[in-house]
Structure 1
Amino acid sequence: MTPRIEEIKEKKLIGVSCHMSISNNKTGKLWKGFRQRVSEISHMVSSDSISLQYYPEDYFTYFDPRRNFVKWAAVEVSKETDIPKGMQCLKVPAGRYAVFEYKGPSNDSGIFQYIYNEWLPQSLYRLGHRPHFEVLGEKYKNNDPNSEEEIWIPIDLF
């Protein structure tokens, strides 16, 4: 699977976040609460949802499934005004991303093992320290083998 490489401008997101780890995964609870309130958000760029992870800088160097990171359930907005109570704004910095078109269940960790253990070490890039995110569009069906999403991995040239 070969990704496309994209340079993005800063993105503005509005959503909810929580600290979690792989071994203490709170993704379902996070998304359930967000989905109930997404209609309160103004200035949405599209109907796509964004699942975003912000890892500590050395997270992948010293990987431990019990180590915390911040996970977001969000949507992209054109301006960060009228933020609903209990939600926050996050600015994703401009930068280069490898974008993988993934088809399959979202609970299959094999795609991430491929990206981090096979594709990235053989590429001309190193992992960038910016948020990692998935764009969940109209073809996304949680944990369905026919689900489709885009996986955005931050990269920098060596």
Structure 2
Amino acid sequence: MKPEIKNLSSRKLLGLKTKMSLADNKTGQLWARFIPMIKKIEKSQSQDKISLQIYPQDFFTDFSPSANFEKWAGVFVEGHDPDYEDLELLNIPEGKYAVFNYKGPAGDPKVFQYIFAEWLPKSGFMLDDRPHFEVLGNNYSNTSPESEEEIWIPIK
């Protein structure tokens, strides 16, 4: 799996967030809270849903499944409407990303093992300290082996 290198302009994500770890995964609960709210969002840039992670700086160098990080369920938006009082806005800075087109069940650790243990060390790039995210488009279907998503890894 070879990524496409893309420059992302700054974006705004509107959604919900929670603190979690891989050992205490709260992704399902987060999305269950967010999905009913999507219909109310009028300034969404597309129908794509965004699953985003903000990791502490030492998360990958001192890895532990119990290390906490911030997880977001959201959509990219043009602006922020104050009527969305239950949702939060996150500004994502511009930067370079390695974008992997992945087909398979969501959450399969093998794809991330490949990205971080094989591709990244050989790529000539370094991991950047910006949000990581997945774009869940029309062909995303969670645990299906036919599910498709884009995995965006910040690089420099």
Normalising by structure 2, we get a TM-score of 0.98
1:11 match? 11
Matched residue SS, 2:126: strand
Q: Distance in 2 between matches of 1:41 and 1:86?
A: 12
**Structure 2: how far apart are the matches of 1:153 and 1:25?**
20
Q: What's the secondary structure of 1:127's corresponding residue?
A: coil
Report what 1:88 is aligned to.
Answer: 88
Amino acid at match of 2:30: L
SS at match of 1:56: coil
Select between 90-99 and 78-87 the one with higher mean Cα deviation: 78-87
Per-residue displacement from partner, 1:17-65 (whole Å, max 9, x unpaired)?
0000000000000001100111111210000000000000111011110
Structure 1 runs not aligned, ≥5 long: none
CA distance in 1, matches of 2:40, 2:16: 13
Q: Distance in 2 between matches of 1:124 and 1:21?
A: 29
Contact 1:41–1:83 (CA under 8 A) maintained in structure 2: no
For 1:121 and 1:37, the matched residues in 2 are separated by: 39
Whole-Å Cα distance in 2 between the matches of residues 83 and 148 of structure 1? 32
Q: Are 2:42 and 1:42 aligned?
A: yes
Decide whether aligned partners of structure 1 residues 42 and 124 sit closer, same or farther in structure 2, where only a CA change above 3 A counts.
same
Following superposition, the deviation at residue 83 of structure 1 comes to 4.9
Q: In structure 2, what is the equivalent of residue 115 of structure 1?
A: 115
Correspondence list, 1:7-156, <5 A: 7-156=7-156
Offset of 1:79 from its aligned partner? 1.1
CA drift of 1:124 comes to: 1.2
Whole-angstrom distance in 2 between the partners of 1:30 and 1:12: 19
Identity across matched positions, percent:
50
| TM-align CA RMSD | 0.8
Hey, what's the Cα distance between the residues in 2 that align with 1:57 and 1:33?
28
Equivalent residue pairs, number: 156
Superposition misfits of 4+ residues, deviation over 3 angstroms: none
- C-alpha distance in 2, partners of 1:19/1:40? 24
TM-score relative to the length of structure 1: 0.97
